[in-house]
């Protein structure tokens, strides 16, 4: 029998099943083996340990998927309780045990069963109810019956229930072994079992060492995450100032030509903010991919402004042919990241002198964006691999992720990207957006009003003035109040369209304030102002309508005001209508 790879019935063999309390009780291969054995006319003596009025027949249905009642009626399945039948007055009667086994086997032989298997489990019952010596003797008797009556025995060893000494003694009686829970019934002889065990020990040791390393990495990442939280908070404060000042400069600068630079600063700051948001969301395990309506030409023009720094040392001309006035429903920062990546790749593909042309146009109701260059181009092999992660033609200067990430972004926007290139003839990348956003945007803006009044609950002079500046850009009146009693009085005496309250107030609980305001003014939307790094459980936001996160832009503030006005106008206040604008 040694050398067999799959378990099969064989007379005169005792097979040990190595198992554990940690193992999954369900074992399809072993259940299949028993079922096929019974279907072929074999008989099974099932020896169980605990005293029960009836055996645990659910075991067969649950773990072996066998209809125990069916085979019991046919006389193929016999249950034998070790405690009831084999122990007398808490002592082990060895002669009675051997006689009982022999009688059961002979009775089955008389019923014309040629194949007989005895199945039993060696577990903590044996360890605590019977001495180690008696347990060994009981199994020795079974081994003797197996050889004498030419039957097969399957003994399941629950390794973690047995002491090392009794375990070693018991398995020495087995002719070969199988491992419980494996996807196959591979058979091992004694030496193969030892070899397999040692191999698994080495694997386990290696796994534990790797696991320790991974745990250290996780701990380091956790510490880095906490460090990045603070860094992101500081950078958000810097970006808030840059975004706000650049917007004010664009509105008030009298010098011609400066607005282009201010706009580049503004858009670059927004992209910096978007990148920080991505890092923040990753640390917090949140996916944030909010989209809006954006003019594709504006995205292209800003991307060109950002890419110009790369061509100062080369004789490269960037031409734009913007013939589409369509709006695209997208994440502006992600699409600008895609366009900027294509522009920089085109610039890098031109060695000294050349042209990069960016075009937008409409085609069959779709919006198309094309970036083409007069660079070195690509051969077929390179063309087939450019979207693979880490594939780069730039050597140490590239990481091979730009186009791969760009393709993923476009797929998330239901957009396609097509590449045409020949070695020595430049490259052409064409992006196609299928969304039509103009009508949706027009409906969205119908709710916006210029005569809106906003009550600001804020005890930080810097943040308060920042909010007032943003509101003034939108021609919206705002008033700051911090006294709890005056807040309710102000809302009672004046008509406010919404309330914006900072989450970080020194002496007031903003959530309590929201509850009191909603109790008396349920139709006034309540906006909670939070830092990007702050987290709050949504179950505490029952009286909060929207969340506005710093740093924010004028457009984002206008959007959240529009949402508040829509809620107020339609009288559709919903206390679970939580919307994070960041």
Q: What is the pLDDT of residue 339?
A: 92
Q: Would you say the CATH fold of 447-581 matches that of 289-435?
A: no
Query: Which string of DSSP letters, residue by residue, matches 388-415?
Result: STT--SSGGG--S-HHHHHHHHHHHTT-
Q: What is the pLDDT of residue 446?
A: 47
CA atoms within a 13 Å half-sphere pointing along the CA-CB vector of 137? 14
For 447-581, the fitting CATH number among 3.40.250.10, 3.40.50.2000, 3.40.50.2300, 3.80.10.10 is 3.40.50.2300
Cα angle 249, 251, 257 (rounded to 5 degrees) comes to: 70
Residue 32 burial (10 A CB sphere; 0-12, 13-18, 19+) = middle
Query: Which string of DSSP letters, residue by residue, matches 458-472?
Result: ---HHHHHHHHHHHH
Q: What is the pLDDT of residue 322?
A: 92
CB of 533 closer than 8 Å to CB of 280: yes
- Residues belonging to the chain: 582
Architecture of the structural domain at 13-188:
3-Layer(aba) Sandwich (3.40)
CB of 9 closer than 8 Å to CB of 117: yes
The whole-number mean pLDDT for each consecutive block of 10 residues of the chain, a chain of 582 residues, reads: 66 87 63 88 85 60 77 89 60 78 92 92 65 80 92 87 79 84 72 76 76 67 63 73 78 70 79 71 56 82 81 82 86 87 90 90 90 91 85 70 86 90 92 66 47 87 84 84 89 91 88 92 92 73 88 78 74 37 34
Name, in order, each residue with C-beta under 8 angstroms of 471's C-beta and a sequence gap of 6 or more.
Answer: 454, 477, 478, 557
Closest by Cα among 450, 472, 439 to 562: 450
Compute how many other C-beta atoms are within 10 angstroms of the C-beta atom of residue 202. Answer: 10
Compute how many other C-beta atoms are within 10 angstroms of the C-beta atom of residue 489. Answer: 12
Name, in order, each residue with C-beta under 8 angstroms of 58's C-beta and a sequence gap of 6 or more.
Answer: none
CB of 565 closer than 8 Å to CB of 536: no
Main-chain dihedrals φ then ψ at residue 366, nearest 5 degrees: -95, 160
Q: What is the pLDDT of residue 3?
A: 45
Residue 399 burial (10 A CB sphere; 0-12, 13-18, 19+) = exposed
pTM to 2 decimals? 0.40
Name, in order, each residue with C-beta under 8 angstroms of 229's C-beta and a sequence gap of 6 or more.
Answer: 280, 283, 533
Q: What is the pLDDT of residue 40?
A: 92
Two tokens, residue 503: 């989450």
CA distance 244 to 73: 85
Task: Sketch the domain layout of the chain as residue ranges.
Answer: 13-188, 216-286, 289-435, 447-581
CB of 89 closer than 8 Å to CB of 123: no
Q: What is the pLDDT of residue 581?
A: 35
Compute how many other C-beta atoms are within 10 angstroms of the C-beta atom of residue 532. Answer: 23
**May I ask the CATH class of domain 289-435?**
alpha beta
Q: Is 534 helix (H, G, I), strand (E, B) or coil?
A: coil
Helix count and strand count (H, E) for the chain? 19, 21
Q: What is the pLDDT of residue 457?
A: 93
Tokens 């395990």, residue located: 285
CA distance 150 to 109: 11
């Amino acid at each position: 029998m040694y050398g067999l790879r799959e378990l099969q019935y064989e007379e005169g063999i005792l097979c040990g099943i190595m198992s554990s309390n940690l193992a999954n009780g369900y074992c399809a291969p072993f259940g299949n083996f028993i079922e096929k054995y019974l279907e072929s006319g074999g008989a099974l003596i099932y020896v169980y340990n605990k005293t029960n009025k009836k055996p645990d027949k659910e075991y067969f249905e649950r773990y072996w998927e066998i209809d125990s009642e069916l085979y019991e009626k046919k006389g193929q399945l016999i249950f034998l309780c070790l405690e009831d039948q084999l122990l007398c007055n808490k002592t082990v009667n060895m002669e009675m045990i051997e006689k009982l086994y022999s009688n059961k086997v002979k009775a089955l032989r008389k019923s014309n069963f040629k194949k007989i298997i005895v199945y039993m489990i060696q577990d903590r019952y044996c360890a605590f109810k019977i001495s180690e010596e008696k347990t060994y003797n009981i199994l020795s008797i079974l081994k003797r019956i197996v050889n004498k009556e030419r039957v097969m025995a399957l003994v399941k060893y629950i390794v973690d229930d047995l002491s090392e000494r009794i375990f070693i003694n018991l398995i020495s009686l087995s002719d070969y072994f199988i491992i419980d829970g494996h996807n196959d019934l591979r058979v091992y002889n004694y030496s193969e079992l030892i070899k397999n065990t040692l191999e698994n020990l080495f694997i386990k040791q290696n796994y534990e060492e790797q696991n320790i390393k991974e745990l250290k990495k996780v701990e380091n990442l956790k510490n880095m995450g906490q460090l990045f939280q603070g860094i992101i908070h500081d950078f958000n404060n810097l970006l808030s100032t840059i975004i706000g000042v650049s917007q004010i400069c664009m509105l008030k600068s009298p010098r011609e030509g400066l607005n282009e630079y201010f706009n580049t600063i503004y858009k670059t700051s927004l992209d910096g903010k978007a990148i920080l948001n991505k890092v923040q969301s990753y640390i917090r395990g949140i996916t944030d991919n909010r989209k809006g309506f954006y003019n594709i030409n504006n995205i292209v023009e800003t991307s060109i402004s950002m890419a110009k720094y790369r061509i100062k040392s080369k004789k490269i001309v960037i031409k734009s042919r913007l013939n589409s006035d369509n709006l695209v429903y997208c994440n502006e920062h992600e699409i600008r990241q895609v366009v900027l990546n294509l522009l920089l790749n085109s610039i890098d593909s031109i060695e000294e002198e050349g042209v990069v042309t960016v075009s937008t146009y409409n085609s069959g109701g779709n919006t198309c964006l094309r970036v083409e260059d007069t660079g070195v181009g690509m051969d077929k092999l390179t063309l087939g691999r450019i979207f693979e992660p880490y594939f780069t033609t730039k050597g140490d200067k590239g990481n091979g992720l730009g186009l791969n990430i760009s393709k993923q972004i476009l797929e998330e926007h239901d957009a396609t990207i097509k590449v045409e290139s020949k070695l020595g003839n430049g490259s052409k990348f064409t992006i196609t957006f299928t969304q039509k956003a103009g009508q949706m945007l027009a409906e969205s803006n119908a709710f916006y009003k210029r005569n809106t009044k906003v009550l600001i609950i804020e005890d930080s002079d810097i943040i308060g003035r920042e909010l007032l500046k943003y509101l003034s850009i939108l021609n919206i009146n705002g008033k700051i109040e911090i006294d709890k009693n005056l807040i309710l009085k102000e809302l009672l005496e004046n008509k406010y369209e919404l309330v914006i309250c900072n989450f970080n107030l020194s002496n007031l609980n903003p959530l309590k304030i929201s509850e009191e305001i909603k109790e008396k003014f349920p139709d006034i939307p309540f906006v909670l102002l939070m830092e990007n790094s702050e987290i709050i459980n949504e179950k505490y936001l029952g009286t909060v309508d929207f969340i506005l996160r710093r740093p924010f832009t004028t457009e984002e503030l206008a959007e959240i005001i529009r949402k508040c006005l829509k809620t107020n106008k339609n009288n559709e206040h919903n206390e679970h209508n939580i919307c994070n604008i960041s």
